[in-house]
């Protein structure tokens, strides 16, 4: 584990803290370390949910480390198998990641929030993309924002650096919850606990199906789901947990999930 990427396990929940004062900017080495952490999270059967936060109260993450860039680190440097920040391109990540955005989410930091499945933001948080003003493109944001926001709003953010407050980001559906700064982690942990109470394979299947069908229409999506080509979905359908859930409901008790 890198000093700049700190982890804490709480049962089935992994908390990941990006700690690079003053702004939690990410250079290539930090990105690779984050990728190792999230790949380990993906592959650990005892972990169910990850919460990503930035150290301090001002910045969640300032994105690409421009000081490293000024020293010669290329924009297309080796950021690791998980892509920038460890999760923007990590394959087969079928476990939820919650971004606890406790400050500014700038550039690549905003892209980390977009790569997360759920976002809890501090009420003072802001989201913006300054890349065009330093001569580059916010790759992941250019791909995801036009799919997540009205085109006019997405293009304004990408082309002008327009800032979204936490409240406005929530109105547009980019943020799930807004909390006072001191309550952000409590809110993220409560959300994580809700997920941990659900059946592991069902949660994984949600992510697999959403990822695999996002570019398809409803008919094509159903066809893919019925094709047998989604292994997690298939495993869920034929799992012990799929039988345990209805049985526990009928017996008026809490289900005991086995993840198989």
Q: Which residues are catalytic?
A: 111, 131
* 228 dihedral zone (left: phi>0; alpha: psi -120 to 50; beta): left
Q: Which residue, chain included where needed, has tokens 């980019």?
A: 174
Q: First vs last Cα of the chain: how many Å apart?
A: 30
Secondary structure of 26-37 as H, E, C letters:
ECHHHHHHHHHH
Closest CA to 7 of 44, 48, 42, 51: 51
* Strands 104-106 vs 97-101: parallel, antiparallel or unpaired: unpaired
CB 110 within 8 A of CB 141: yes
Residues 6+ apart with CB under 8 A from 152: none
CB 185 within 8 A of CB 194: no
Residue 64 is given by DSSP the state: B
DSSP strands (E only) in 73-171 = 97-101, 104-106, 118-122, 126-128, 164-165
* Strands 97-101 vs 118-122: parallel, antiparallel or unpaired: parallel
Secondary structure of 189-203 as H, E, C letters:
HHHHHHHHCCCHHHH
């Amino acid at each position: 584990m890198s000093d700049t990427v700190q982890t804490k396990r709480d049962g089935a929940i992994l908390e990941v803290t990006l700690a690079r004062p003053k702004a939690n900017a990410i250079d290539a080495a930090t990105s690779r370390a984050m990728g190792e952490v999230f790949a380990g999270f993906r592959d650990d059967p005892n972990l169910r949910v990850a919460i990503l936060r930035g150290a301090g109260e001002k910045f969640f993450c300032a994105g690409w480390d421009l000081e490293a860039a000024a020293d010669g680190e290329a924009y297309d440097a080796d950021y690791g198998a998980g892509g920038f920040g460890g999760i923007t391109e990590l394959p087969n990540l079928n476990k939820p990641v919650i971004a606890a955005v406790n400050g500014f989410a700038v550039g690549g930091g905003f892209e980390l929030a977009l790569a997360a499945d759920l976002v809890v933001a501090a009420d003072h948080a802001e989201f913006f993309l300054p890349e065009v003003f330093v001569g580059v493109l916010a790759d992941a944001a250019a791909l995801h924002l036009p799919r997540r926001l009205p085109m006019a709003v997405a293009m304004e953010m990408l082309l002008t650096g327009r800032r979204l407050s936490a409240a406005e980001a929530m109105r547009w559906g980019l943020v799930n919850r807004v909390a006072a700064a001191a309550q952000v982690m409590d809110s993220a942990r409560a959300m994580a606990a809700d997920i941990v109470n659900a059946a592991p394979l069902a949660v994984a299947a949600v992510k697999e199906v959403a990822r695999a069908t996002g570019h398809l229409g409803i008919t094509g999506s159903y066809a893919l789901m019925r094709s047998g080509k989604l292994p997690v979905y298939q495993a869920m359908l034929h799992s012990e947990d799929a039988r345990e859930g209805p049985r526990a409901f009928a017996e008026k008790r809490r289900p005991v999930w086995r993840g198989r």
